[in-house]
């Protein structure tokens, strides 16, 4: 099958070459005009079909089958078109991660389909390294297009990992130089897998190669870079804006990794990016004019195209049908049974219970890690806010639903101080609680997959304290964890690489499961212990926050009804990014008067009113707020300045007191 597909792909490429008339720039007349289009894809994550294996259904907003329809439409409009991919391409679905990437004897289906689609170049993303360098070597060999990596070399020889930092493609008489930059942070995440490699800062690699590309005849320079436009880690140089500013002669940049839409012009440089899973395609258009014997860039445009309005390519679906069917066959096998749901329904829609309290779904993952490694403590994250195991039969698709990445398992010894630092790093995921908040919220600058919860120790997270000081009452086997203690910790390889790179942990693994994935351990555990029921030991809790505001039930119902939305981050990737604060909403006039009346809440002006002053009492006086009271009125009645009352009662908003509220009047 693979050999026949290779022949078909070659035939299609040959037709495309013969169908495009190429004329050397030197024989074109002065003033000749041409438009070159570059199509960019990024973060496809092995979504070949427009199909969700977790849900068992076609979807309209993703997949390479949809992407291919967009590509065909653009190629029909402008034959002078190149197709490049920005990485994070061969990992991300059950098809790739659990069937093909772990078996190097099988043709890689994503690369095979990319050959069919006629790609001109690709750059490595960070997830291409998840399965080790053998898979990288394999896809480089199987690809009928160059895979680029200008900033990743072997440390000992200095040779490029993929053999090619850039490629120059001639089309319609124009030499288009395509430079590939991978993510320099890969050692943070897959450190043990890339010890033989060195990764350079993108701006340095761009600087090293841009003049070489010009010397070799490149008329325009295009960079495909598996990094976001802005830095992800301050000072790391992992933002494309750095080399865009340094080298304004770059005509266009395809960014990625951040899973966000980007379509802007910075100076004369186009910058484009697309959402993940093939939800969007980026189109770059460059209008060039022959000026003497050289091309001049007259104008350029960039846009992100949603694939949802395009039909799925039946040609591609037919070509990849066997890969898809093999995956479906793999998924239908029942692993075991679940007696009841592992994660409870959220009290507030959009806030997963498994990130604010201990639940069966997280305990299951951590129990599996503890048993596999013999560790004392395990840490794991909730990768999807909807992760759950539902009552009934369990298949591999369900395992993928609670653990979507192909991480392997690491066991490592840590000190008590290192464990505490790790837990504090994780707990910075929460925003600091403010009086009036009705919910716990999450730091918009931290992704949910970077919030780990722990098993094997007992602890509390005090969200009233600043990040770095939140882990309290940390206990192991009933005793406080001391800085000099030694414990065995179970985590995935991605977290191990990140923590070690940050200097939070320092040791070497005593256990490594590679190549067996944590998902496989979870599947084995369920099969061996079926039927299983959720086990929750409530070894941790969030403390410090007071969520007893009178308006909390009303505001939760408003969220459920869709009348009130939980804030999201500016880039749309972080949900529940700011708490709903009832006091703020009242003071902004966002709560209807009839609702305030229903809950017995009165907002009154700060106007003093003369009242008889009683004799001072020997001890503090307990005063219960009545309808029509305000703080200065109460203070005047007892001969106490309202500001002192506010401070004495720790009132965050002295303009807002409620009937039935207790106010303490200080003695003296």
DSSP strand pairing (458-462 vs 540-543):
parallel
Residue 627 has a pLDDT of: 61
CA pair distance 581, 546, nearest whole angstrom:
12
Q: What's the CATH fold of domain 346-560?
A: 5'-nucleotidase;  domain 2 (3.90.780)
CA pair distance 184, 181, nearest whole angstrom:
9
Give the CB-side neighbour count of residue 129, counting CA atoms within 13 A: 29
Name the DSSP letter for residue 175: E
Residue 85 has a pLDDT of: 98
How is residue 361 written in tokens?
Answer: 């779904």
State phi, psi for 402 to the nearest 5 degrees.
Answer: -100, -15
Give residue 131's Cα distance to chain centre: 19
Residue 639 has a pLDDT of: 81
What is the residue-wise DSSP string for 131-174? Answer: T-HHHHHHHHHH-SSPEE-TTEEETTT--BSSS-SEEEEEETTE
CA pair distance 14, 16, nearest whole angstrom:
5
Alpha helices (runs of H) in 308-376, residue ranges in sequence order: 314-319, 321-332, 360-373
Domain boundaries, the chain: 2-327, 346-560, 602-665
Kindly tell me the burial class for residue 239, based on how many C-beta atoms sit within 10 Å of its own C-beta (0-12, 13-18, 19 or more).
buried
Q: pLDDT tens, 152-205?
A: 999 999 999 999 999 999 999 999 999 999 999 999 888 888 999 999 999 999
* Below-70 pLDDT ranges, the chain: 1-27, 515, 604-618, 627-629, 652-660, 668
Contact 36, 80 (CB under 8 A): yes
Give the number of other Cβ atoms within 10 Å of residue 141's Cβ: 10
Q: What's the CATH fold of domain 602-665?
A: Membrane-bound Lytic Murein Transglycosylase D; Chain A (3.10.350)
CA pair distance 635, 648, nearest whole angstrom:
12
* Cβ partners under 8 Å of residue 549, min gap 6: 436, 438, 582, 583
Residue 604 has a pLDDT of: 60
Q: pLDDT tens, 530-570?
A: 999 999 999 999 999 999 999 999 999 999 999 999 998 88
* Cβ partners under 8 Å of residue 639, min gap 6: 613, 616
Q: How many residues does the chain have?
A: 668
CA pair distance 577, 444, nearest whole angstrom:
5
Residue in 329, 326, 324 with CA at minimum distance from that of residue 312: 324
CA pair distance 374, 411, nearest whole angstrom:
8
CA pair distance 129, 432, nearest whole angstrom:
36
Please check whether the two domains, 346-560 and 602-665, share a CATH topology. Answer: no
Residue 538 has a pLDDT of: 97
* Cβ partners under 8 Å of residue 211, min gap 6: none
Name the DSSP letter for residue 525: H
CA pair distance 155, 345, nearest whole angstrom:
50
Q: What's the CATH fold of domain 2-327?
A: Purple Acid Phosphatase; chain A, domain 2 (3.60.21)
Give the number of other Cβ atoms within 10 Å of residue 247's Cβ: 17
Host H or E run for residue 624: strand 621-624
Residue with tokens 């029909």: 76
Coil/strand/helix, residue 252: strand
Contact 470, 542 (CB under 8 A): no
Host H or E run for residue 222: strand 220-225
Q: Give just the sign of the alpha carbon dihedral 407, 409, 411, 417.
A: positive
Q: How many helices (H) and strands (E) does the chain have?
A: 20, 29
Residue with tokens 């800085």: 483
Give the CB-side neighbour count of residue 644, counting CA atoms within 13 A: 12
Coil/strand/helix, residue 111: helix
What pTM was computed for the model? 0.67
């Amino acid at each position: 099958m693979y050999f026949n597909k290779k022949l078909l792909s070659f035939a299609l490429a040959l037709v495309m070459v013969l169908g495009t008339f190429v004329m050397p720039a030197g024989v074109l007349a002065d003033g000749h005009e041409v438009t070159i289009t570059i199509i960019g894809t990024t973060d496809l994550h092995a979504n070949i079909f427009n199909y969700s294996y977790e849900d068992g259904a076609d979807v309209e907003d993703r997949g390479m089958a949809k992407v291919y329809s967009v590509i065909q439409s653009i190629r029909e409009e402008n034959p002078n078109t190149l197709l490049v991919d920005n990485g994070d391409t061969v990992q991300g679905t059950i098809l790739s991660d659990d069937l093909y990437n772990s078996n190097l004897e099988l043709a890689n289906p994503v690369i095979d389909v990319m050959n069919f689609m006629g790609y001109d170049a690709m750059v490595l993303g960070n997830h291409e390294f998840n399965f080790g360098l053998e898979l990288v070597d394999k896809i480089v060999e199987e690809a009928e297009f160059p895979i680029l990596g200008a900033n990743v070399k072997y440390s000992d020889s200095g040779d490029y990992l993929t053999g090619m930092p850039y490629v120059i493609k001639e089309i319609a008489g124009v030499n288009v130089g395509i430079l590939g930059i991978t993510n320099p942070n890969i050692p943070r995440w897959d450190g043990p897998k890339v010890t033989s490699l060195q990764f350079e800062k993108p701006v340095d690699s761009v600087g090293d190669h841009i003049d070489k590309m010009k010397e070799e005849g490149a008329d325009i320079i295009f960079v495909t870079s598996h990094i976001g436009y802005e830095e992800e880690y301050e000072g790391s140089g992992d933002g494309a804006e750095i080399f865009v500013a340094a080298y304004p002669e770059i005509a266009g940049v395809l960014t990625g990794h951040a899973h966000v839409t980007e379509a802007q012009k910075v100076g004369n440089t186009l910058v484009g990016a697309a959402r993940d899973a093939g939800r969007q395609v980026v189109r770059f258009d460059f209008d060039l004019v022959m000026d003497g014997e050289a091309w001049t860039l007259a104008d350029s445009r960039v846009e992100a195209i949603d694939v949802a309005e395009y039909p799925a390519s039946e040609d591609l679906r037919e070509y990849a049908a066997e890969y898809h069917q093999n995956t479906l066959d793999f998924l239908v096998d029942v692993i075991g049974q679940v007696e009841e749901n592992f994660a409870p329904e959220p009290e507030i829609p959009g806030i997963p219970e498994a990130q604010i309290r201990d639940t069966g779904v997280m305990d299951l993952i951590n129990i599996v890690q503890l048993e596999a490694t013999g560790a004392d403590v395990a840490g794991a994250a909730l990768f999807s806010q909807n992760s759950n195991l539902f009552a009934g039969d369990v298949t591999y698709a369900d395992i993928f639903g609670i653990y979507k990445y192909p991480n392997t398992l690491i066991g490592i010894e840590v000190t008590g101080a290192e464990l505490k630092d790790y837990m504090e790093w994780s707990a910075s995921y929460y925003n600091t609680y403010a009086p009036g908040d009705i919910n716990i919220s999450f730091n918009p600058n931290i992704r949910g997959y970077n919030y780990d919860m722990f098993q094997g120790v007992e602890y509390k997270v005090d969200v009233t304290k600043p990040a770095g000081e939140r882990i309290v009452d940390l206990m192991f086997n009933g005793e406080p964890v001391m800085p000099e203690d030694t414990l065995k910790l179970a985590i995935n390889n991605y977290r191990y690489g990140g923590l070690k790179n940050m200097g939070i942990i320092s040791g070497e693994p005593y256990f490594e499961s590679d190549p067996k994935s944590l998902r496989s351990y979870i599947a084995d555990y369920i099969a061996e212990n079926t039927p299983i029921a959720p086990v929750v030991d409530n070894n941790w809790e969030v403390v410090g926050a007071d969520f007893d505001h009178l308006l909390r039930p009303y505001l939760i119902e408003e969220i459920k009804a869709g009348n009130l939305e939980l804030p999201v981050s500016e880039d749309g990737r972080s949900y529940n990014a700011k708490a709903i604060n009832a006091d703020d909403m009242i003071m902004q006039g966002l709560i209807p008067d009839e609702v305030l009346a229903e809950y017995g809440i009165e907002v009154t002006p700060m106007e003093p009113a003369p009242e008889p002053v009683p004799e001072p009492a020997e001890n503090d006086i307990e005063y219960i707020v009545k309808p029509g009271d305000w703080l200065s009125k109460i203070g005047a009645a007892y001969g106490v300045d309202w500001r002192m009352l506010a401070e004495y009662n720790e009132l965050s908003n002295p303009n807002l007191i409620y009937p039935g509220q207790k106010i303490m009047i200080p003695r003296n």
